[in-house]
Structure 1
């Protein structure tokens, strides 16, 4: 509040004599007037002024004497402007009490620091009545009012923050442990596991930050309480408590001590909390069984056949079987079983090994049995046969009649009298006069070869798998009925029975009608034919058949043109030169295609399999969890060290409070020394950088020797 000048009263006697209390000579030279705060150019120093007033006021002995009100004011008031003449006279007792209280308080904010002066005016005389006086509070009590209790510690917020950080990290570990190895959680609003982990780590980071801020902020008060330290350390600790860059600077300068440096390291390492926590979780893919299941057919029997007069056996095969054979011969896709129907909803399925009625193919080399054949040369020449005009033959019935004939195909169908095993469908004999790598036709360099391949009814044990929607099957076992049966007797049971791995189980059956249908059709399809190579005989009649197929095809050998009798011969010839083991491969393709036809007919039953699906799942890399755990535990340890260090030093719990710095700053002497330096100081000449430089060379300590805590040099 402002001080208001007191005017003269009518009852005031100018002749009144003021007498000073005995033994109080200090009031003899008191200023005759105290300037109001509005007109005083000097600030009202709370620490020195109020204390000075308290001391002077306590020494006054009011023994019924009239004492001027300015006798109890601080000495600093004497330096104010001169008094007006009319104010040199005394005031009434009520005015003195009111004005003195206001002058001492300097405002209502500090009214609780002082005791009231109970004064009573007896009359208009110049004497003050006896006052009841309570002594001011002691220095210790005054310090508690200004600074707070010296024993009470307020670390509740930091303790709770560390507890929350520990709980958050524990929750992260618990969540990761729960979902480790589990499928990705399907939470509402598309919330992901990463989002939950990021939230928990953010909470942990915030808790660590609160603990570090309080601990590092408190260490500066511990530093200045225990010993004299450079004034710049105050800023270093304050910056370290407010951010990572400040922690780096504190660690770089080495001014934090062991505990402060430890806290700075924790603050810097805390930057890796979120990245490391995100690295803990990875998402990998594994194959799991789908509940939808899978299925593929296997054949228990095959009876598909139709009566046909065009067949030598009286039966013709069904069109699906013919289509399967043509697919095996001409598709050349390396996937003869591609037309097999299966159910695999996921595109990746597996089946346990199972058995099915099938057609097996096997090939043997007949090259060691080749011998010269000069029958064709003898029939066209009256003279003795020339060895260069002879062909080759094998005892099984195949031949190359001349040197110009480079490839031949001969089919053998088992007779009804049982000359071949009962399960044999057909035999194919192949001969050639050229090596697969190529060579000149004719001459002594010609090396003929021969091969026999057999189609038989059998039982196969298959291992099937669908990968990326494509079916692949591997044959694990084959069982063939090698018994020889005479099928000429129509009254006998002529069906082909083949047992699988379990002899106690019912046999797999291929009806005699289906067998005869395939034998009759194969005898026409694989009729004997050949290929002739010549560089000049374009108009040459290769065979007597008017339906001969002439194909200009050059493979393997650079010279000459090759002429074929049929498309089937062309297919086998092409495979022979195009692929290693090409004839064996083509025969197996035809057998597999016929098996697919068996498994798609009426005698087929489904085989249950496992549908496999790619499932993403949570994989936890626990090594990355070490950093969050260590950081939170280190923050808790640092906070405990800061609390212990603060209590040991007797420092007040001011932490990073800016008010504590304002209320407990430098004393006047030290501030003057820092600001002025060695030369004359002007307020606008000292910048922040210069102040920081000067603070490096000034050592201060938190001192409580005076009326309040100050940083004194």
Structure 2
């Protein structure tokens, strides 16, 4: 169908003449130039229960076929326009071709039923009248148009019958996300400030609740074992709990900040002077991430409310590291409910071991103490047994964990002291009785006499004692046997008569000594033959009371002696000896119990105080008679060293070749006796008369340590985000008449797009630079009623002139 030529004719002078309208309403496809509507046009929805007929603008039907024009004057639109009174057309470049099918419009919310009326009717004007009900050109008078008879047939209409509400639901499978968005959009359009910002307020509250939950949990668990965390059994650790809540808090914190920045984006362009179009993208990027927030902060120079939101967005990057640093898990020693224990002894009461020989009672030595002392007499003593990081403890100790401590406690023990007494020795060559050679095994009365040279004790007395020296041969040469070591007790074995004063030289204050002995020691026979002076010590062993501080840590036992108490009281000599002529023996007895003055400690302290009875003391002294006196001699410089001990009885003398002689130099005699005393102390503390001291047991546990300083950033961002959100709410409320609550809505951005001719001028190919470059120069302003208004460097916001020959007001 050809288009009628355009005519520059004006509107007719006879407005009363009726005009037929065709089926198409080209206003539906006609574009408006110059401004952009602020809201889309939505067809009216007729309530349920009433039929609705859409106007021809809602359905573009095929054009009726050409017919003979009526005798009346008519004006047709579109392609069959009259040459008399033409209606102005849109510009040629935007004219849309008529559709060849009816345009059906559906409304998803109502799901209407659609029916086209009158499409089956013959619409030719020259068809004879018919009695069919569907005919439009019957013999009856036409009621269409503006009173002109026999006009074009009635255009088909679309009948919409809404479905009954009770039989069919409207969109039963609606998208939940769509429902949420619709609800939020309705809230944003509400007149209530709280409803307009409900999502942001709820999001901020969620962030605050998550941070509060973290703080409350850490406050309860602070400085407590990590085992107090109740959800370890289900696999949720405290670190995971803090991490999950911190992520939720960070995400919820950024949502109100981003939405507030989006709202400030619209306020930025609606107030004051025109702003650069580039600012719109800068605000939009600031609401999406820290890089855009950083650029916005620089652009605004920190002088606007938006700068606070940009700062919150930037510093939110450090939320996770700060939350991870809040809690740590150091290991600490925790006191356990069970106690540790360690033995001590107040009085040493060994079991009486009695044998009978021919009906005569024979009291044996203390087997436990004998087993502990003998290894030190003929060797290096008992060696510690490795256990854990240290050595096994040789007395009862109980530690239920790897770390135990005890309060300072007192216990009965064996003490030793040694001092060097070189002034007691004098070198001399004397013809005297020899009692130290290795071949002797007889009584004292049969000891041989010989000339010996060396260092003597009491060399000027009637009974000098050789401590280190050698025998001269018959030819007077030094080829005889040499004495390397000698131990001489200052109390005679058997009769218990003191050899020097009260039986001591340097330790007269010590009462009830087990042994007080002089020990001389040389390195080898060469030193003896070279007349080198031996090292002479006076050593004493006696029972004492020690104040001990003990600890046990990871398999290592440590003990520190803080005080020592010895019996320094005065009294008569405790030994007595009685000769029994019938048996030709001496009966020796110890007359007193050993009592040591020391602090009384413990609830079950003995009424007899610290010490031991006389029988136990006697048997202990007998054990040390096995070692003192003793000798070590050698036939020549190349011969083996012979150790001779147990010389207190002529019938019990023993000799042996030692692998290691602890009494010879360079061995430390003082340290060796200390180890011997410690071994005896362990026997005393392990006896049946010992008792247990309770201590504390500690176990290594993982604790929760909270470093509250690291919560400063999360809490600070929470406060600043609230201030920023509150300021944005107040600012948007005061300017609600100019800009609505749009936030980051993309729909609002689409609705306020620039007109087409602005867009073409910004993006045309022959212009310099890109649209983004021009956006940095173009200044725009958002009008609440007219949309975007442009001004500045590229073009002016000129409103397009209205089209010419428009119909007067009131005309369709």
TM-score by length of 2: 0.62
Does structure 1 residue 400 correspond to structure 2 residue 468? yes
Correspondences of 1:86-97 after superposition (within 5 Å) = none
Does structure 1 residue 247 correspond to structure 2 residue 290? no
Preserved CA contact (<8 Å) 1:213 1:241: yes
Distance in 2 (CA, whole Å) between partners of 1:146 and 1:378 is: 127
Structure 1 678/340 Cα, relative in aligned 2: closer, same or farther at 3 Å? same
Structure 1 residue aligned with 2:334: 288
Structure 1 residue aligned with 2:741: 653
Does structure 1 residue 219 correspond to structure 2 residue 264? yes
Structure 1 residue aligned with 2:762: 674
Structure 1 residue aligned with 2:213: 171
Distance in 1 (CA, whole Å) between partners of 2:26 and 2:362 is: 136
Distance in 2 (CA, whole Å) between partners of 1:32 and 1:336 is: 116
Structure 2 residue aligned with 1:155: 197
Q: 1:492 Cα deviation (Å)? A: 8.5
Does structure 1 residue 183 correspond to structure 2 residue 225? yes
Preserved CA contact (<8 Å) 1:465 1:473: yes
Structure 1 703/327 Cα, relative in aligned 2: closer, same or farther at 3 Å? farther
Specify which of 690, 693, 696 is matched with residue 773 of structure 2. 693
Q: 1:225 Cα deviation (Å)? A: 1.1
Preserved CA contact (<8 Å) 2:425 2:456: yes
Residues 21-76 of structure 1, C-alpha deviations (whole Å, 9 max, x = no match)? 97979x99x99978667996x7677966999x99xxxxxxxxxxx99796999965
Q: 1:81 Cα deviation (Å)? A: 6.8
Q: 1:205 Cα deviation (Å)? A: 0.5
Structure 2 runs not aligned, ≥5 long: 2-9, 43-72, 79-84, 111-139, 148-184, 435-449, 471-477, 504-509, 579-587, 648-654, 792-812
Q: 1:697 Cα deviation (Å)? A: 2.0
Q: Which has the higher helix share?
A: 1
Structure 1 275/73 Cα, relative in aligned 2: closer, same or farther at 3 Å? farther
Structure 2 residue aligned with 1:237: 283
Structure 1 690/50 Cα, relative in aligned 2: closer, same or farther at 3 Å? closer
Structure 1 593/611 Cα, relative in aligned 2: closer, same or farther at 3 Å? same
Structure 2 residue aligned with 1:409: 487
Distance in 1 (CA, whole Å) between partners of 2:336 and 2:645 is: 60
Preserved CA contact (<8 Å) 1:315 1:520: no
Q: 1:265 Cα deviation (Å)? A: 1.9
Structure 2 residue aligned with 1:481: 567
Residue 570 of structure 1 aligns to a residue whose secondary structure is coil
Residue 288 of structure 2 aligns to a residue whose secondary structure is coil
Distance in 1 (CA, whole Å) between partners of 2:199 and 2:38 is: 35
Specify which of 318, 330, 352 is matched with residue 381 of structure 2. 330
Distance in 2 (CA, whole Å) between partners of 1:151 and 1:544 is: 113
Distance in 1 (CA, whole Å) between partners of 2:745 and 2:427 is: 114
Q: 1:571 Cα deviation (Å)? A: 1.6
Preserved CA contact (<8 Å) 1:407 1:532: no
Distance in 1 (CA, whole Å) between partners of 2:642 and 2:332 is: 62
Distance in 1 (CA, whole Å) between partners of 2:11 and 2:27 is: 29
Does structure 1 residue 538 correspond to structure 2 residue 638? yes
Residues 546-604 of structure 1, C-alpha deviations (whole Å, 9 max, x = no match)? 999xxxxxxxxxxxxxxx9754971232xx525xxx32221111111111111212111
Residues 485-538 of structure 1, C-alpha deviations (whole Å, 9 max, x = no match)? 23448898643233431399531342333323232232223442236596xx32
Preserved CA contact (<8 Å) 2:431 2:451: no
Structure 1 residue aligned with 2:242: 197
Does structure 1 residue 461 correspond to structure 2 residue 553? no
Structure 1 residue aligned with 2:610: 508
Distance in 2 (CA, whole Å) between partners of 1:590 and 1:245 is: 79
Structure 2 residue aligned with 1:497: 595
Preserved CA contact (<8 Å) 1:168 1:204: yes
Structure 1 73/325 Cα, relative in aligned 2: closer, same or farther at 3 Å? farther
Structure 1 residue aligned with 2:417: 362
Preserved CA contact (<8 Å) 2:630 2:643: no
Structure 2 residue aligned with 1:59: none
Structure 2 residue aligned with 1:301: 348
Structure 1 residue aligned with 2:512: 423
Structure 1 70/612 Cα, relative in aligned 2: closer, same or farther at 3 Å? same
Distance in 2 (CA, whole Å) between partners of 1:307 and 1:172 is: 75
Q: 1:390 Cα deviation (Å)? A: 3.2
The root-mean-square deviation of aligned C-alpha atoms, in Å, is 5.1
Specify which of 713, 716, 721 is matched with residue 627 of structure 1. 713
The 10-residue stretch of structure 1 (452-461 or 422-431) with the greater mean CA deviation from structure 2 = 422-431
Preserved CA contact (<8 Å) 2:332 2:703: yes
Residue 329 of structure 2 aligns to a residue whose secondary structure is strand
Specify which of 528, 546, 549 is matched with residue 630 of structure 2. 528
Preserved CA contact (<8 Å) 1:303 1:510: no
Does structure 1 residue 263 correspond to structure 2 residue 318? no
Structure 1 runs not aligned, ≥5 long: 6-18, 55-65, 85-101, 112-121, 130-144, 380-384, 549-563, 681-688
Structure 2 residue aligned with 1:321: 369
Distance in 2 (CA, whole Å) between partners of 1:48 and 1:378 is: 140
Preserved CA contact (<8 Å) 2:263 2:743: yes
Residue 518 of structure 2 aligns to a residue whose secondary structure is strand
Structure 1 106/659 Cα, relative in aligned 2: closer, same or farther at 3 Å? same
Distance in 2 (CA, whole Å) between partners of 1:636 and 1:221 is: 20
Residue 423 of structure 2 aligns to a residue whose secondary structure is helix
Specify which of 537, 558, 572 is matched with residue 663 of structure 2. 572
Preserved CA contact (<8 Å) 2:349 2:612: yes
Structure 1 107/510 Cα, relative in aligned 2: closer, same or farther at 3 Å? closer
Preserved CA contact (<8 Å) 1:166 1:204: yes
Equivalent residue pairs, number = 598
Residues 347-387 of structure 1, C-alpha deviations (whole Å, 9 max, x = no match)? 211112222222111112212333224226999xxxxx999
Structure 1 465/167 Cα, relative in aligned 2: closer, same or farther at 3 Å? same
Distance in 2 (CA, whole Å) between partners of 1:149 and 1:509 is: 98
